[in-house]
Amino acid sequence: MRIIITEFMDEAAVAALARRFDVRYDPDLVDRRDALLAALADAEAVIVRNRTQVDADMLAAAKRLKVVGRLGVGLDNIDVAACRDRGIEVIPATGANARAVAEYVIATALMLLRGAYTASAEVAAGAWPRTAYSNGLEAEQRMLGIVGFGGIGQLTAKLAQGIGMRVAAFDPMLPADSAVWQQTRVQRLELDALLSAADVVTLHIPLTPDTRNLFDGARIGSMKSGGILINTARGGIVDETALAAALKSGQLRGAAIDVFDQEPVKAAGALADAPNLILTPHIAGLTQEANERVSSVVAERVAAVLDGAAHASAQGGR
């Protein structure tokens, strides 16, 4: 059985698959669409990250496809309904990069609360802006508001509580009587109440028609004055122009954005000259450890699907 891997994957996991299957590992294949479609003609499995669009054209080219492995958790680049209709399993690496994302949230929250970590160039140049950077904030007893309280949100809450933060969360999929609230010691709030109370708001929701531009000018404007917004979920949830305006006006203290409506970001885009802003290239879930976990989990689960298919085929041939 043949597996096509279109984006980077941990080498140990690739080698483990290659010992048992016919593997084509080509991490640049995502950027050569015609070659990708041609490669899929005899593939039973494809493993992708977030840039490969598993759409109608790709599924049409992959007539033997049985499973799509996703090196991550977001599925907005995969036509899940079409895969379901064709009996193709979609396997995300649920939970495997949660620690990396949660640590990113806490790290950027601390940086933006303190506000001093952009002083390196000034100090190195001989300036001594001690007074300007002497009014940073401590995290203890400040509120972290989590929008989307799944596995990543719950781990982020645990880390935040470990440094003395109060934590509240909004998740319409978790009813008020869910055991999760008591187990995590997290306050359940509706979205508007959470935004008005939280010192730091972090997003952990999928991009859907309902969540696109969820954080528009009005919703960002409803956040607590001097609040901080962190988005490691998906670009498109936050209106980047509205965010830039809120940072420039001082309505928000800062923001950390790891995901964007268009990736890579256009030069001189809406966020280019916004102050108190940390921008990273969609790497919140990427660490050495997370890459190994994500790749290992997906490799094992894809192999299990192919083994099941081979067994079924052998049984049918008897």
Question: What proportion of the chain, given as a percentage, has pLDDT over 70?
Answer: 97
Q: Helix 98-114 to helix 288-316 angle, to the nearest 10 degrees?
A: 160
Inform me whether the pLDDT recorded for 130 exceeds 90.
yes
- Residue with more model confidence, 311 or 225: 225
Q: In this predicted model, what pLDDT tens digit does every residue of 189-206 receive, in sequence order?
A: 999 999 999 999 999 999
Beta-carbon contacts of 287 under 8 Å, excluding residues fewer than 6 positions away, are 97, 100
Q: What is the pLDDT of residue 59?
A: 97
Q: In this predicted model, what pLDDT tens digit does every residue of 80-128 receive, in sequence order?
A: 999 999 999 999 999 999 999 999 999 999 999 999 998 999 999 999 9
Q: What is the pLDDT of residue 74?
A: 86
Burial track 41-78 (b if 16+ CB lie within 10 A, e otherwise): eebbbbbbbbebbbeeebbeebeebbbbbbbbbbbebb
Query: What average pLDDT does range 201-226 have in this prediction?
Result: 97
Q: What is the pLDDT of residue 314?
A: 66
Straight-line distance from the first to the last Cα atom of the chain, in angstroms, rounded to the nearest whole number? 20
Q: What is the pLDDT of residue 259?
A: 97
Say which amino acid occupies 302: V
Question: What proportion of the chain, given as a percentage, has pLDDT over 90?
Answer: 94
pLDDT tier at 310 (50, 70, 90 boundaries)? confident
Running DSSP on this structure, what letter comes out for residue 256? E
Inform me whether the pLDDT recorded for 35 exceeds 90.
yes
Arithmetic mean of pLDDT over the chain: 95
Q: What is the pLDDT of residue 118?
A: 87
Q: What is the pLDDT of residue 316?
A: 65
Say which amino acid occupies 313: S
Phi, psi angles (nearest 5°) of residue 77 = -95, 5
Q: What is the pLDDT of residue 309?
A: 81
241 in helix, strand or coil?
helix
Bridge-based pairing state of the strands 166-170 and 187-188: parallel
Q: In this predicted model, what pLDDT tens digit does every residue of 232-272 receive, in sequence order?
A: 999 999 999 999 999 999 999 999 999 999 999 999 899 99
Q: What is the pLDDT of residue 226?
A: 98
As annotated, the active-site residues are 234, 263, 282
